[in-house]
Amino acid sequence: MLKRSLKGRLIAAATLWIAIGMIGAGVTLSAVFKRHVAEQFHDELYVHLAELQRLSEFSPDGTLHLQRPLSDPRYDVPLSGFYWEIQKEDDVLARSESLEGPPLQLPDDTRQDVGVHTHMIEGPTGPLIVAEKTVWKNPGAAPDRFIIGTDESQLDAVVASFNLTLAVALAIFGLSLVAAATLLILYALKPLGQLRTALFDVRHGKAKQMSGQFPAEVVPLVDDLNTLLASTSDLIQRARTQAGNMAHGLKTPLAVITDEAYRLEDQGQTQASSTILEESRKMQAHIDYQIARARAVAMRSTPGVVAEARKAALEVASALGRLYAANETQIDVDVPEGALVACDPADLNEMLANLVDNACKHAKSTVKIAWTDGAVAALTVDDDGPGLPPEAREVVFNIGERWDSRMPGSGLGLGIVRDLARLYGGDVRLEDSSLGGLRVELLLPSKSEAEA
């Protein structure tokens, strides 16, 4: 299943929303500014048009001349984009120094078209925004047309400059908003990180319950989780107690049956006694197996189950070393400090004790317990005994089966060890040992000291 971060999704959503807001604000502000600048351009044209009309003088012979140039010097620069022209019918009475080429072509006005009009026409340097006023001095004569214009590119340049400045400003503002939103989201989600840390401590055995300072919105969840943890631990303890009671309740009847079998043997009924004793041993083996399995299933569900491999190895080596002292069997332990596995300590002791006990039964003089680190750690038990042929390496895992019937035992050891290991997510493998006998690898999920 693909993992998706809540934090990442919130930051992405905030970034997207801020980006949409910045783009919308940019488009709106640019449109408002363009409209405002266009109005300013038109107002400026009206002012210059009024100035042009005011400075124009007609001599008695009809000749037109200006009292002085317009106040804006750009009208004197050739092809500057700022032009004026005075027309009468098809004649040009006067024009600015900046204007070159044919007369400006405007729509015809009628006698009713009084006042100032604006048009968009083609000028010598591109589209031209013009303001023109038709003056009818003599109703029977042709009117005078005062025309003044500015290239549209002048307006576009101002708007483009503003848009660039606006884009940079909005980008910086948007990035600052994204940074602020990110910090806000990280701060808002900080309690979830604390919650995860508290669960991590419970899971890895550092705490029995979740504790810490949590916001009011998270406290009910923490309380419910603590209640669930307490309830789970209580149920597991009850299950283990029930399993123990069952084992204790069955031991007495089995002991009575075994005692009766020995009495039959004393009475000479050896065949019946042997059959009863064999079946009693099988019953005891299956009871032990099922109880151990039930305990392992319960402990696997318990948060914070961690066992120290070196401690378990030393305890098993000490106990079995005394038991096999008469055989002069030496048990060496090569397990480092801090080696941890995700397993209940009691179950690890039981599995390791079964493996070492089995090795001591077959070893000539040496048994070695070692450790191999990794995501799945391996506790290896080597002996210098006769070993085990490949065809027997699956048979010995069957409950109640023994490859060598001359050796004491119930045939339960390896079977229950593998079953318990698999319940914890591990396994058991049999290989040839460098000591000459058999190597048993107990594989279990490892835990680093940092995790524990």
Range from 177-191, 296-310, 387-401 carrying the lowest mean pLDDT: 296-310
- Looking at per-residue pLDDT, the higher value among 99 and 63 belongs to 99
Residues in a beta bridge with 133: 116, 146
Average pLDDT of the chain to the nearest whole number: 81
φ, ψ at 97 (rounded to 5°): -65, -25
Nearest to 401 by CA among 388, 387, 393, 412: 412
Give the neighbor-by-neighbor strand order of the sheet with 82-88: 91-95, 82-88, 144-151, 126-135, 116-123
pLDDT digits (tens, 9 = 90+) for 214-234: 777 777 877 887 787 777 767
* Cβ atoms of 66 and 56 closer than 8 Å: yes
Between the two ends of the chain, the Cα-to-Cα distance in Å is 27
For the chain, percent of residues with pLDDT exceeding 90: 20
Q: What confidence score (pLDDT) does residue 452 get?
A: 44
Secondary structure element (H or E) that encloses residue 154, with its range: helix 152-203
Question: Does the pTM exceed 0.75?
Answer: no
Distance CA 411, CA 285 (A): 8
Residue 110's pLDDT band (cuts 50, 70, 90) = low
What pLDDT does 168 receive? 94
Q: What is the pLDDT of residue 47?
A: 92
What is the C-alpha to C-alpha distance for residues 85 and 367, in angstroms, rounded to an integer?
Answer: 114
DSSP code at position 326: G
DSSP class per residue in 63-113: -EEESS--S-GGGGSTTSSEEEEEEETTEEEEE-TT--SSPP------TT-
pLDDT at position 407 is 47
Task: Confirm if 387 and 359 have CB atoms less than 8 A apart.
Answer: no
Q: What is the pLDDT of residue 300?
A: 53
Q: Provide the residue count of the chain.
A: 452
Picking from 442, 449, 452, the residue whose alpha carbon sits closest to that of residue 316 is 442
| Amino acid residing at 375 | A
Q: Can you give the pLDDT at residue 180?
A: 93
pLDDT tens for 230-274 read 777 677 667 666 766 676 677 677 777 877 777 777 787 888 788
pLDDT digits (tens, 9 = 90+) for 123-161: 888 899 999 888 877 776 778 889 999 999 988 999 999
Residues 29-58 pLDDT 10s? 999 999 999 999 899 999 999 999 899 888
The architecture (CATH level 2) of 307-447 comes to 2-Layer Sandwich (3.30)
Give the C-alpha distances (Å, rounded to integers) separating 11 from 21, 179, 189. Answer: 15, 9, 11
- Under the banding of pLDDT at 50, 70 and 90, the label for residue 291 is low
What are the boundaries of each domain within the chain?
A: 6-158, 221-300, 307-447
Q: What is the predicted pLDDT for the residue at 304?
A: 56
Mean pLDDT of 413-441: 84
